[in-house]
Structure 1
């Protein structure tokens, strides 16, 4: 499906045109002027330089680790603290008719639900679901001098701290966009802001929450996900696909206990060598190609064309995004192939290990076992459970030398492929590019995953999707020195306000 559709020609005599650029609007919609762009921009600027930055900074300082990284998350209470903090701030904004509720099912991390009724004239426009999350990654290493994961620091237009760009800002962009829309005389359908607290743990609780809230959410006609981003901070970036993921811990055991390597080597194959042989079944170590057919798909023509357009935008720019070691080369000299490798092809990374002592204290020992944590990124349309079953078969069937192999501790999530934009959304995005950023929006696939999107795609197959956000290629998401571009966050807020206004004025189905 091609999401890079051209903006429709709204001057065609076959469509009656209102002064607001949407054909066949109802009389109720037509009497309300469109949102005033300058008023919206001023309201957003005042909000961000006032209440938003202070509240977001305090949110950064809450060590709200995702449940996967804090086994005692419920007792520690940091996730609840984050949700309570944002709830109190949203309630202080005084949005007309808004209701804020913390929802928490037994044994599941809390969720914040903000429900804002539609403006007059937009009550039949369905529900807009705005999504973000409040849980965070761990610190992951040493931060630069003066910075820290739970310390909010503003430097040169950047807000540093864990959760600033992934994904604390989302609550403030969504709420401030609705505020600005009201201040600028715009319209919006019913808006529901859903902020979960387990996204960094692959959103294991969201299916239960969606089922629990299904009757309250109603007919969702637009989803705006604020947990993504793009290659720069110069324009609005739209995510058109997300890879799925499969993580597993593999243990190869060759001995009951470790023994002297001089005594056993050459007789007992090392657990590491057996592990290497098993991984060769999964990946071609020379090319990085994943050999398993269950993990590969044909790349759609429109996504290949999208990759070509991205490569042309920044020739030789793909490799430049990464701090390569001196002399290191990337996997290909072809930027298009690198982009497709990262968005539509599977890839294997070894992200953890045990059974291996630190080199400084390693003795002459043939170790009893080796464990590796494998992370496989899967193409957007691959079924992660099918891939999981195939991985287990490949690693446990006909194991070399009869070694014992255990595969477990799985973490899986399906990818997502965006539906094509309807004309009203294509028009809205064109206006955002012109009025807010001064550059056309761009679309791209992402190598990461947002489990919620695949779930929402299945739950609301008729909805339109805007998956965007403030993450740039250098925002240090998941690593030390994470930061949010504050100027871009403001422009993103104005863009969301425009999209909500256009959605409310779109032609009836």
Structure 2
């Protein structure tokens, strides 16, 4: 596919079309929020320990919403095998409307699966009963990423209503297992390549700078996660009888894991790199406000705060399988299983990063303990090329919708499948947008969506569709 050239007439769409889109968004917004609430009520957790029937029901609901727009020639629910071919992935929804008269095609991506809710006692309201308090809608998936799904649906509705007939090609891919590592993603792209091929891809799974300022995500850290099994004994022994002479697995784990960081909390693994990014101003007070950092607890790392989050590696221990306090006995624990989750800087290969962390742990294992590595998940980092026409159109649409231009941001989290989109569709321009704000608390208890941000994000995308439809021919 080759680069599009704007036509001589207004590539932004006629002023009356822009006004009509704004009106359509305003009129349709209450029903869009109601549809979002209905999706949130479906506990579509894609993790294996949860009922997969809920994910299937969520896919059905999304498919019906897309059919209801009336713009697609095809709406279907499909699955592909996971990478090792052992099973099928969770159901995804695809839709397609081919471009006409040489217009471009845009692929809209979001995911309809959600994270587990965690302890319901940590929620102020039930996680799967959407609850509006003030300007925020609370519930698991209200922001991540069922709001992304509804931003696409709402934008298509508003654009189609305002434009009537149009020539823009639109493909939609609503994934069903993003929160479980997108294990069938690469195969799904290959299986549906012709249906999903596009000139520009909008990934609605990120956030905005604040409640009043939009953002385009231009940098994403990669991900390396794995289990390390730490063994010191063939069986448990009495801690009073042998403690002080025999190293138990918990002692070894504590000593080993502590070597991953320096005294200030920076990552101490040789071979992990940093990226050269210039973040906007962001101080410690803002970090405390957005994260709930307790009084007296200091931030970790060095350098500008956003550089630590966007451009440097981090290592987090996200789980330990060991006796809990309620069942603790006077025993030397023979084995501990630890889940290590690392984020790696844009520009570093995920496999190389895993090799570096593994080499570090093997080199620093105390007392000659035995280490085993398993459950490895890798996700590549990503840097967006911001020079293309699609990014230019997105900036303009966001400026029109929000009343101020977007900020280019990095994200400390990862969206590993973007690298697979680039591999499968190398000529497409990637746009990472989102509906979240700094207080959305995705993956956490009391996840929420700010409805003002949601409405502006939806309007931005509807205006973007109009701009893309106004572009001239140029697709090979």
Q: TM (normalized to structure 2)?
A: 0.90
Q: Report the CA distance between 1:258 and its aligned residue.
A: 1.9
CA distance in 2, matches of 1:392, 1:35: 59
CA distance in 1, matches of 2:227, 2:138: 33
Q: 1:505 to 1:17 in 2, by over 3 A?
A: closer
Query: Aligned residue for 1:465?
Result: 430
The question of whether the paired residues in 2 share the 8 Å contact of 1:34 and 1:501 is answered with no
The answer on 1:343 being equivalent to 2:310 is yes
Secondary structure of 2:414 counterpart: coil
CA distance in 2, matches of 1:322, 1:398: 32
Secondary structure of 2:145 counterpart: helix
Q: Report the CA distance between 1:466 and its aligned residue.
A: 1.8
Q: Report the CA distance between 1:35 and its aligned residue.
A: 6.2
Q: 1:408 to 1:41 in 2, by over 3 A?
A: same
Which of 188, 194, 200 aligns to 2:173? It is 194
Greater displacement, 286-295 / 408-417: 286-295
The answer on 1:89 being equivalent to 2:54 is no
Secondary structure of 2:348 counterpart: coil
CA distance in 1, matches of 2:110, 2:22: 22
Secondary structure of 1:113 counterpart: strand
Query: Aligned residue for 2:90?
Result: 109
Query: Aligned residue for 2:8?
Result: 18
Alignment of 1:21-32 (within 5 A): none
Query: Aligned residue for 2:145?
Result: 167
CA distance in 2, matches of 1:354, 1:328: 27
Q: TM (normalized to structure 1)?
A: 0.84
- Give the aligned CA root-mean-square deviation in angstroms: 2.5
Q: 1:157 to 1:143 in 2, by over 3 A?
A: farther
Which of 35, 38, 41 aligns to 1:58? It is 38
Secondary structure of 2:308 counterpart: helix
The question of whether the paired residues in 1 share the 8 Å contact of 2:270 and 2:356 is answered with no
Secondary structure of 1:479 counterpart: coil
CA distance in 2, matches of 1:321, 1:171: 25
The question of whether the paired residues in 2 share the 8 Å contact of 1:188 and 1:503 is answered with no
- Aligned residue pairs, count: 463
Q: 1:208 to 1:503 in 2, by over 3 A?
A: same
Q: Report the CA distance between 1:229 and its aligned residue.
A: 0.5
Q: Report the CA distance between 1:385 and its aligned residue.
A: 1.8
Which of 339, 343, 350 aligns to 1:373? It is 339
CA distance in 2, matches of 1:460, 1:505: 23
What are the superposed Cα offsets for residues 430-464 of structure 1, whole Å, 9 maximum, x if unpaired? 3531x211121111000001122121122223322
Query: Aligned residue for 1:3?
Result: none
The answer on 1:294 being equivalent to 2:271 is yes
CA distance in 2, matches of 1:230, 1:194: 22
What are the superposed Cα offsets for residues 70-91 of structure 1, whole Å, 9 maximum, x if unpaired? 3464xx4111100001111221
CA distance in 2, matches of 1:229, 1:36: 27
CA distance in 1, matches of 2:344, 2:225: 11
Q: Report the CA distance between 1:143 and its aligned residue.
A: 4.9
The question of whether the paired residues in 2 share the 8 Å contact of 1:143 and 1:481 is answered with no
Secondary structure of 1:294 counterpart: coil
Q: 1:289 to 1:123 in 2, by over 3 A?
A: farther
The question of whether the paired residues in 2 share the 8 Å contact of 1:143 and 1:149 is answered with no
Alignment of 1:233-312 (within 5 A): 233-281=211-259, 283-297=260-274, 299-300=275-276, 303-304=277-278, 307=279, 309-311=280-282
Query: Aligned residue for 2:292?
Result: 323
The question of whether the paired residues in 2 share the 8 Å contact of 1:79 and 1:110 is answered with yes
| Structure 1, unaligned runs of 5 or more | 1-14, 23-31
Q: Report the CA distance between 1:102 and its aligned residue.
A: 0.7
What are the superposed Cα offsets for residues 210-250 of structure 1, whole Å, 9 maximum, x if unpaired? 000112233x2111111111231212211011111111111
The question of whether the paired residues in 2 share the 8 Å contact of 1:294 and 1:382 is answered with no
Q: Report the CA distance between 1:364 and its aligned residue.
A: 2.9
| Structure 2, unaligned runs of 5 or more | 82-87
Query: Aligned residue for 2:84?
Result: none
Q: Report the CA distance between 1:47 and its aligned residue.
A: 1.7
